[in-house]
């Protein structure tokens, strides 16, 4: 069954007479992708604090968790991203409150389902993902019942031109999937092993432990040599 999904957007944010977009003619740059992805995320996961001010959106863009890559945008960068997204009719600005607030209209203008919006949100904020990663990382926005539901939804999104199935990476059993809102995925920027920040920390710790263990072995060997030299030196006076 197809479930309707309506994002939480103030009526004041929807321009009158806006024509609904029906074709895939979007091509975003990296800043636009992060800004729009964050607006999608907050509209679905924290609707009570949505739409977002520029400052709130800046914080969301530079968030260190659930982001790959981690960025350090300034307000000017985010503001330019919002302006270009407004020109592309993917974001609207509301002036009903004292501080301007921004909301995405990708969901409503493209008639996306909650499942589809959740998948796009994860892919936009975290890069290519496996089906299992999509299921886990989209839970706050939409809870898929099982992996087959994710697979079915992603297959439909491939059919409609929103998602691309990527070639399997060396040493990986599962295919990954990328969104097409920024054009064709740049495979040369997709390393054979994408290391998440937490895994990077673990690798650094493991490397440090390996180095320290080698140092301990070296010092033990030197100590043994010193003991032997001392024994020989002592023997000369006995």
pLDDT tens string 151-172:
999 999 999 999 999 998 888 8
Q: Which domain holds residue 223?
A: 195-238
Tell me the C-alpha distance between 5 and 187, whole Å.
32
The residues, any chain, with a CB within 8 Å of residue 40's CB and separated by 6 or more, are: 104, 106, 107, 117, 120, 121, 124
Domain count, the chain: 2
Computed on alpha carbons and rounded to an integer, the radius of gyration of the chain in Å comes to 26
Do 95 and 201 belong to one domain?
no
**Domain holding 147: CATH number?**
1.10.10.10
Q: What is the pLDDT of residue 200?
A: 61
Regions of the chain with pLDDT less than 50: 1-23, 189-194
- Same domain, yes or no, for 182 and 208? no
Q: Cα 149 to the chain's mean position, in Å?
A: 21
Give the per-residue pLDDT at 233. 75
pTM score above 0.85: no
* Residue 191 confidence (pLDDT): 47
Closest CA relative to residue 89, chosen from 108, 73, 112, 116? 108
pLDDT of residue 24: 57
pLDDT in tens, 66-103: 999 999 999 999 999 999 999 999 999 987 778 999 99
Residues 70 and 136 in one domain: yes
Question: Residue 91: helix, strand or coil by DSSP?
Answer: strand
Conformational region of residue 167, where left means phi above 0, alpha means psi within -120 to 50, and beta covers everything else: beta
Q: What is the pLDDT at residue 201? A: 63
Among 144, 143, 104, CA closest to 124: 104
Do 144 and 213 lie in one domain? The reply is no
């Amino acid at each position: 069954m197809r479930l309707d999904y309506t994002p939480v957007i103030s009526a004041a944010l929807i321009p009158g007479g806006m024509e609904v977009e029906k074709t895939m003619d979007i091509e975003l740059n990296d800043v636009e992708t992060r800004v729009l992805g964050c607006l999608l995320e907050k509209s679905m996961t924290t609707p009570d604090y949505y739409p977002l001010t520029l400052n709130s959106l800046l914080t969301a863009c530079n968030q260190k968790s659930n982001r790959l890559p981690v960025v350090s945008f300034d307000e000017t960068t985010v503001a330019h991203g919002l302006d270009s997204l407004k020109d592309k009719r993917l974001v609207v600005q509301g002036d009903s409150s004292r501080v301007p607030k921004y909301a995405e209209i990708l969901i409503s203008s493209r008639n996306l389902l909650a499942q589809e919006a959740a998948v796009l949100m994860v892919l936009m904020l975290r890069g290519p993902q496996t089906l299992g990663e999509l299921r886990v990382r989209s839970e706050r926005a939409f809870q898929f019942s099982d992996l087959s539901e994710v697979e079915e939804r992603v297959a439909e999104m491939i059919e409609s031109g929103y998602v691309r199935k990527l070639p399997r990476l060396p040493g990986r059993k599962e295919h990954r999937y990328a969104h097409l809102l920024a054009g064709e995925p740049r495979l040369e920027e997709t390393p054979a092993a994408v290391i998440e920040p937490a895994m990077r920390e673990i690798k650094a710790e493991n490397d440090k432990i390996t180095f320290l263990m080698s140092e301990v072995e070296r010092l033990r060997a030197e100590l043994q040599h010193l003991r032997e030299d001392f024994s020989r030196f002592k023997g000369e006076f006995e």
